Structures are given as C-alpha cells and as structure tokens.
Amino acid sequence: MAGPIAARSAPPVRIGDRGVAEVRRDFPILRRLVAGSGGEPRPLVYLDNAATTQKPQVVIEALSGFYRSINANVHRSLHTLGEEATAAYEDSRETVRSFLNARRAAEIVFTRGTTEAINLVAHSWGRTHLAAGDEILLTEMEHHSNLIPWQLVAAERGARLRFLPVDPEGHLDPEELDRHWSDRVRLVAVTHVSNVFGTTTDVRGLAELAHARGVPILIDGAQSVPHLPVDVQELGCDFLAISGHKVYGPMGAGVLYGREELLEGMPPYQGGGEMIRAVWPERATWNDLPYKFEAGTPDVAAAVGLRTALGYLAKLGRENVRRYEEALAAYARERLAEVPGLAIHGPQHGGGPVISFTFPDLHPHDVAQVLDWRGVAARAGHHCAQPLMRKLGLPATVRVSLAFYNTPEEIDRLVQALAAVRRVLAPGRRGASSR
C-alpha cells in the first residue's frame, strides 16, 4: 500500500467536544478487518452509509436488552412485562416526536421504514383524495420508494405523475414549480437530500409554494434526517418519511410523520390487531391516532433501538454532526477531483455527504470490486434511481456516502485505491490475481 497522502485541507477530526477516533470506538463493526474475495485483510473503510449506517454499541445493547429483560407485546397485557414494553414503545414514540419537533405524539406512526411510510400515504391518502385526471408532482431524482407507490395509486385512480426537472448537478429550481404547476396537482412529493447527488432540496420553499395553492407536501427524509437538523414544523411539511437503519438505528424501524388533521381524514392502511376500536361480524370502528395505522404486533425492539439511536445522535449534537460531515464531504470532493479520469456527478462543491462518480471507460461494478479488495466498502449501481440514471446517460455510478464516524484518512485510502483501479482493470489484468 502506498504511503499516506497529505491531508492539505482535511477538517479537524472532532464532533463537538468528542474526537472522531473516540466516537469510532462506539461502533464495534468499524474494528473489522475485511478481505474481499480472499485478499489481504485490511481495516474496513465503510463508505456505504446512504444504504445503511452502522450501529453504536448502545443501540446493539438496547435491542438485546429488550429481548433479554422486557420482551412482551404492547397495549394488550396487564402484566408487568406488557406494561414495561408498552412504556418503552410509547417512550420511543415521544423521542421521535421530540427529535422531529412534531406537535403531538399522535402524529408519529411507526412503520418498517421510509418505503412503507410512503406506501401508507399513497394508498390511504391517495385512494381517498385522487381522482381521474389529478396530478402528483415529483422530481426527476426521486428514489424508487418515492416513485413506485405513486405509480401504483395513479394507475388505480386514473391520475398522472409530473416531474420537476433537476440540472446535471442535482439542483432543483423552485421556479420550476410554477412552470410545471396545474390546477389538477393534488400532492407534491419530493426528496429532501438526493441519494445520488447529495444535494439538498429547498423543501421549505416548496412547502410554502404548495400550501399557497392548498396542496400538501410529502418529504422523503431518508437521507436528510441522518445528517441535518430536521424540524417538521419549521419545514412546513405535511408528511415526512424516514428509516431508522439510516440514522444509526436498527433495520425494520421507520416513521411516518403526518399532520394530525390529514391523518384523521385517512382510512386505515392495513387491518387487524391494534388498529381497531370495536369489531362486529360485518363492520368495525377504528382506533385513535396513531394506532389506526399500526395494525398487528409492532417491532417493539426496533422502536426501542431507534429511540436509543436518536438519543445517541442528539447527544453528539446534530449541528456538530452537520458541520463535521459537510467539511469531510468538501475534503472528499477535493481529493476525488485529483484522481485522473474520474468524473463527479452532482455538485463539485458544496454538496452533502453523498458523492457519485464514474470513470468513462470502466464499469462502476468493476471499480467497486477493486475498492472492496482494498477494504473500501462503496456502492455501485443505479441506486434505486433509474429514471435519473437515464437522464444522465449512465447505466450506474459508484457512490460513496459519508457518516460522522468517517475520517480524512479513510478518504485518503479511498483515493489510493482509486489510483490503482485503472492498473488493476487494464486489459489482461482483470481478476483476483491482479490484486
């Protein structure tokens, strides 16, 4: 391995009053050595945080602790374990409410993740409010999770989708809302931070424009809540969907924030269990919010793990996290710009901690494989954004996505590995023997 590359403009490796090296010790998996396809074991450089974040020890302990000492169903039992499980579950809901600054805990619906949260709105709100000829306004850079549910409900109801264009750096011009608006638009549904470009959408501005026309707005917050202080009242959004596993919590934990007045007018998404108030053979009545949307036995342990993860992030300080990650992303873009032949797709400067790039004559999957041989975990593919890839004229990109536990030294290791990619993938040198 080549020697360390000088970190000329590397950010200070501190998050508030904690050093990043100290923070990294909270994450057991970061101590792993990895050997892609049987190569030399190397320290893991985990740069796939947009797909899922790693978990601090406190979250791992919260999950095992629930099953070890509390495990019981919620809202149904009068025994001690049931009451303790219910208290832990509802305390988790209050933690999410406070973290997002929702007005009431009733506006926090637990789901399995962003995808289920958006499907809930599409099928419940969409089936109630959309009619033939109505329109849903999206952007060209939406994740499939904020596209496919709207395709399904639009096909069912005879509605249509319209798309706000983005420029090659992933920027959305708010004035495009006026140019693409019609009196048939019934909902605006947009990503807050692009999972391909790392750009941040002015969702507050879009919310003001949509509300001035009497139209609600849904925000896909999967990539924003882990990195930015998100306040649903300040943003003015009507719905916000997030995934726990992208914010250092467990998989299977997610949240739909919905403005209470809208949730009240929406029918249940699924039937059975907790969502009922009373049942007769031929009819039923529904429970209060948010339980109307939480059918069946919830993943209580995942909710407890999410509560712990949000508490961990709050203790670090969300502004501290934002500042450090922005500085690290700027350093990463600067270093990647030095790699011969590498093209960054998205903002060259000022973008968030998600960076996509390609080499013009190398397939992204091959590039990611070489990185893995050197212990660097990056993502290659269309990133569940195939319409955007077609607009860019690309089959795929390599994507590195940063978290607060990443370091400038890891960026240097990424650049060192990329410098070797062309040599390894040169004609006649492909395969494990080239490592």
Same domain, 397 and 424: yes
- pLDDT computed for residue 37 by the predictor: 66
Q: Report the pLDDT value the prediction gives residue 8, as an integer from 0 to 100.
A: 52
pLDDT bracket for residue 378 (50, 70, 90): very high
- The residue among 314, 343, 369 that closes a domain is 314
Q: Which helix (H) or strand (E) holds 255?
A: strand 254-258
- Report, in this order, helix, strand and coil percent for the chain, each rounded to 5: 40, 20, 40
Digit-coded pLDDT (tens) for 264-308? 999 999 999 889 999 999 999 999 999 999 999 999 999 999 999
Q: 137 and 41 in one domain?
A: no
Residue in 339, 355, 356 with CA at minimum distance from that of residue 397: 356
Supply 44's token pair.
């893991």
**Is 6 part of any domain?**
no
Structural domain includes residue 18: yes
d(CA 135, CA 185): 4
Distance CA 117, CA 97 (A): 16
Distances from the Cα of 85 to the Cα of 66, 76, 93, 248, 275, angstroms: 8, 10, 13, 22, 18
Name the strand (E) or helix (H) holding 419.
helix 408-424
Residues 110 and 176 both lie in one domain: yes
Burial of 265 (0-12, 13-18, 19+ CB in 10 A): exposed
Euclidean distance between CA atoms 258 and 197, whole angstroms: 27
CA torsion angle for 252, 253, 258, 263 (degrees, to 10)? 60
* Helix/strand/coil for 380: strand
pTM of the model: 0.94
Could you say which of 290, 314, 338 is where a domain stops? Answer: 314
Catalytic residue numbers, as ranges: 384
Amino acid at 96: V
Question: What does the chain come to in residues?
Answer: 435
Structure tokens given for 284: 């039923």
- What is the structure's pLDDT at 267? 96
Residue 423 near residue 64, CB atoms below 8 Å = no
Torsion of CA 255, 258, 260, 263, to 10 degrees: -100
pLDDT tens digits for range 58-84: 999 999 999 999 999 999 888 999 999
List the one residue out of 433, 272, 423, 372 whose CA is nearest residue 36: 372
**Whether 215 and 116 share a structural domain:** yes
| pLDDT, the chain, mean | 93
- Per-residue pLDDT of 140-153, as tens digits, reads 999 999 999 999 99
CATH code, 196:
3.40.640.10
Domain containing 332 equals: 14-49+317-434
Q: Which whole number is the average pLDDT over 85-101?
A: 98
A 10 A CB-CB count for 154 gives: 18
Instruction: Let me know if residue 1 belongs to a domain.
Output: no
Residues 203 and 151 in one domain: yes
Q: What is the mean pLDDT of residues 166-173?
A: 89
In the listed set 314, 333, 359, which residue is the last one of a domain according to the structure? 314
Tokens of 91: 């305390």
CATH number at residue 371: 3.90.1150.10
Overall domain count for the chain:
2
4 falls in which pLDDT band (50, 70, 90)?
very low
Residue 428, pLDDT score: 45
